[in-house]
């Protein structure tokens, strides 16, 4: 099973998904991420899905789960780099990912996190 | 095939071979077409008959080519078909002059049916070519009718004109999302001033586009909602939820400016003041 690496940048964790996600790796990622947030005291999590071309409802739900999980640990989650085809698929599946913040790319994702934190000191 | 018919058919083939020169010349006269083209066609026909094939694939290929080139040259499809039918007339003159019994006349009936088939085939080819052109144009129209324009740095707009159906909405959605990725624009305006009617289906399509854009990290505003359309939407009970809708494109642009942290100051000499961009 391939594991998704979690990178730390300041108090932000960056998860860039570059592999075809299996159910097992998704579950492992959720656990690893929760551990990492607690361990580093991260205030923000960025999930980069630029390289993800195919999604199903499971992955859609994973994003929502991670967002609410990190929310409980007081870390804001931003999903960045979603491709048009992926967005259309999620909409067709009826998953609007309510509560998950999104940004067009990593740069804007980082800026969005900064903005959120400056707005809520 | 009965013995009679077989004999008749062979007689016609014989006549076609012996009088090739004359028939082609006469045919060219009747059809008023270059005789080289017809000669090639005639040869192919003879060869196909000799091999006893019934599908006449070579002849059809040549005819299709002829039909296309004539269509491009501006001939009506009936002209092409008439040119093919001209062969009947040319052959009939030979058959009439033939003195060896009724076989040739009998064979002519068979031959005539063959030529009719080929004539109809040119029509089919023409129709096919036309249909392809229409299909291409419909596709081009689809491309043309959905431009995504940049209004400001980071603000794009899609002015929709005409009726929205599923196919078109799909194109609009894909194009808009693609543009968002390419330009990194965070604000999009979908202007439906030119959309004559909004029903539940169209509204559904619009909502999907907005949600998809939101998923990618861009804010989408729907503008250009005319009073009647607002009335229809409310009557139909369509919920736009927390999606921002504006009456005019100008309002939508103002909203996008506000969200992007751009300030427009009015007055005698209107100026645009751009503050440090908030994301």
The domains found in chain B, sorted by start residue, are 3-142 (1.10.490), 149-274 (3.30.750.24)
Q: Is the pLDDT of residue A79 over 90?
A: yes
What is the percent of chain A with per-residue pLDDT over 70, rounded to a whole number?
Answer: 99
Are residues B24 and B89 in contact, defined by beta-carbon separation less than 8 angstroms?
Answer: no
Q: Is the pLDDT of residue B268 over 70?
A: no
List the single residue in A with minimal CA-CA distance to B175.
Answer: A84
Q: Where are the beta strands (DSSP E) in chain B?
A: 149-152, 155-161, 187-194, 219-223, 244-245, 262-265, 271-274
Q: How far is B183 from chain A (nearest CA, A)?
A: 10
Enumerate the domain spans of chain A: 6-119
- What SS3 class is residue B2? coil
The pLDDT of residue B39 is 82
Tokens standing for residue B149? 């324009």
Nearest to B62 by CA among B79, B74, B75, B47: B47
Is A82's CB within 8 Å of B217's CB?
A: yes
Residue for token digits 């196909």? B48
Fold of A6-119: Transcription Regulator spoIIAA (3.30.750)
Compute the average pLDDT of residues B124-134: 86
Q: What is the pLDDT of residues A90-114, one digit of tens each?
A: 888 888 787 788 999 999 999 999 9
User: Looking at per-residue confidence, does A49 or B9 come out higher?
Assistant: A49
Which residues of chain B are within 8 Å of residue A90 when distances are taken between CB atoms?
Answer: 212, 215
HSE-CB for B106 with a 13 A CA cutoff: 14
B178 touches chain A (CB under 8 A): yes
Which residues of chain A are within 8 Å of residue B181 when distances are taken between CB atoms?
Answer: 83-84, 104
Q: Is the pLDDT of residue B1 over 80?
A: no
Which residues of chain A are within 8 Å of residue B208 when distances are taken between CB atoms?
Answer: 88, 91-92
**What angle do the packed helices B3-18 and B35-50 form, to 10 degrees?**
150
Q: Using pLDDT thresholds of 50, 70 and 90, give the confidence band for residue B3.
A: low
Tokens standing for residue B181? 């990725």
The pLDDT of residue B270 is 58
Is B177's CB within 8 Å of A84's CB?
A: yes
Q: Is the pLDDT of residue B98 over 80?
A: no
Which residues of chain B are within 8 Å of residue A114 when distances are taken between CB atoms?
Answer: 279
Q: What is the pLDDT of residues A18-40, one digit of tens each?
A: 888 888 888 899 999 999 999 99
Q: How far is CA B258 from CA A30, A115, A117, B83, B159, in A?
A: 37, 16, 20, 70, 21
Is A97's CB within 8 Å of B208's CB?
A: no
Q: Using pLDDT thresholds of 50, 70 and 90, give the confidence band for residue B252.
A: very high
Q: What is the pLDDT of residues B193-232, one digit of tens each?
A: 888 888 888 888 888 889 999 989 899 999 998 888 888 8
The pLDDT of residue A78 is 93
Q: Which of A90, A97, A111 sits opposite B279 (nearest CB)?
A: A111
What is the percent of chain B with per-residue pLDDT over 90, rounded to a whole number?
Answer: 12
ipTM given for this complex: 0.77
Q: Is the pLDDT of residue A80 over 90?
A: yes
3-state secondary structure B110-148: HHHHHHHHHHHHHHHHHHHHHHHHHHHHHHHHHHHCCCC
Q: Is the pLDDT of residue B62 over 70?
A: yes
The pLDDT of residue B271 is 62
**Within a 10 A sphere around the Cβ of B27, how many other Cβ atoms?**
23
The pLDDT of residue B49 is 79
List the single residue in A with minimal CA-CA distance to B180.
Answer: A104
Which residues of chain A are within 8 Å of residue B188 when distances are taken between CB atoms?
Answer: none
The pLDDT of residue B156 is 93
User: Looking at per-residue confidence, does B162 or A41 come out higher?
Assistant: A41
The pLDDT of residue B101 is 66
The pTM for the full model equals 0.63
Q: Where are the beta strands (DSSP E) in chain A?
A: 6-9, 12-16, 44-48, 76-80, 101-103
Q: How far is B212 from chain A (nearest CA, A)?
A: 5
The pLDDT of residue A45 is 93
B210 touches chain A (CB under 8 A): no
Compute the average pLDDT of residues A77-89: 91
Please provide the average confidence, as pLDDT, over all residues in chain B.
82
Is B173's CB within 8 Å of A90's CB?
A: no
Contacts of B257 (CB under 8 A, 6+ apart): B152, B155, B263, B264
The pLDDT of residue A96 is 79
Residue for token digits 């998809």? B212
Q: Is the pLDDT of residue B269 over 70?
A: no
Residue for token digits 């039918």? B85
Q: Is the pLDDT of residue B2 over 70?
A: no
Are residues A23 and A57 in contact, defined by beta-carbon separation less than 8 angstroms?
Answer: no
Cα separation, B42 vs B143, in Å, equals: 44
DSSP B150: E
Contacts of A26 (CB under 8 A, 6+ apart): A58, A59, A62
The pLDDT of residue B109 is 83
Q: Is the pLDDT of residue B241 over 90?
A: no
Q: What is the helix, strand, coil percentage profile of chain A, to 5?
A: 45, 20, 35
Contacts of A50 (CB under 8 A, 6+ apart): A16, A80, A81, A83, A105, A106
Are residues B56 and B76 in contact, defined by beta-carbon separation less than 8 angstroms?
Answer: no
Tokens standing for residue A113? 């996190």
Is A88's CB within 8 Å of B184's CB?
A: no
Interface A-B: count of C-beta contacts within 8 A = 62
Q: What is the pLDDT of residues B136-181, one digit of tens each?
A: 888 887 777 678 889 888 899 999 888 777 778 888 888 899 999 8
The pLDDT of residue B55 is 65
The pLDDT of residue B58 is 78
């Amino acid at each position: 099973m391939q594991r998704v690496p979690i990178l730390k940048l300041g108090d932000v964790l960056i998860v860039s998904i570059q592999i075809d996600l299996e159910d097992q790796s998704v579950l492992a990622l959720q656990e690893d991420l929760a551990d990492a947030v607690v361990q580093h005291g991260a205030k923000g999590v960025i999930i980069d899905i630029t390289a993800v071309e195919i999604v199903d409802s499971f992955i859609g739900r994973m994003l929502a789960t991670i967002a609410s999980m990190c929310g409980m640990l007081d870390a804001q989650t931003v999903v960045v780099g979603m491709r048009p085809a992926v967005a259309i698929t999620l909409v067709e599946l009826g998953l609007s990912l309510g509560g998950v913040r999104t940004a067009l790319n990593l740069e804007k994702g980082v800026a969005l996190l900064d903005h959120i934190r400056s707005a809520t000191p | 095939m009965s013995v009679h018919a077989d004999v008749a058919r062979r007689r016609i083939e014989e006549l076609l071979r012996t009088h090739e020169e004359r028939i082609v010349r006469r045919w060219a006269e009747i059809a008023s077409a270059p005789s080289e083209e017809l000669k090639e066609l005639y040869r192919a026909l003879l060869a196909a008959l000799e091999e006893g094939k019934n599908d006449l694939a070579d002849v059809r290929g040549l005819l299709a080519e002829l039909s296309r080139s004539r269509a491009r040259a501006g001939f009506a499809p009936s002209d092409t078909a008439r040119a093919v039918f001209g062969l009947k007339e040319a052959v009939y003159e030979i058959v009439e002059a033939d003195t060896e019994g009724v076989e040739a006349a009998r064979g002519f009936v068979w031959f005539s049916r063959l030529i009719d088939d080929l004539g109809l085939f040119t029509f089919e080819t023409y129709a096919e070519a036309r249909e392809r052109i229409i299909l291409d144009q419909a596709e081009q129209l689809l491309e043309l009718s959905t431009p995504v324009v940049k209004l400001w740095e980071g603000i794009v707009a899609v002015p929709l004109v005409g009726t929205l159906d599923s196919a078109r909405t799909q194109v609009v959605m894909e194009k808009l999302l693609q543009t968002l990725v390419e330009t990194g624009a965070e604000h999009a305006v979908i202007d439906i001033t030119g959309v004559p009617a909004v029903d539940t289906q169209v509204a559904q399509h619009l909502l999907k586009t907005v949600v998809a854009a939101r998923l990618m990290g861009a804010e989408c505003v729907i503008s250009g909602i005319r009073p009647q359309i607002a009335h229809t939407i409310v009557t139909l009970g369509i919920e736009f939820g927390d999606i921002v809708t504006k009456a005019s494109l100008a309002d939508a642009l103002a909203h996008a400016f506000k969200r992007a942290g751009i300030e427009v100051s009015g007055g005698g000499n209107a100026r645009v003041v751009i503050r440090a961009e908030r994301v």
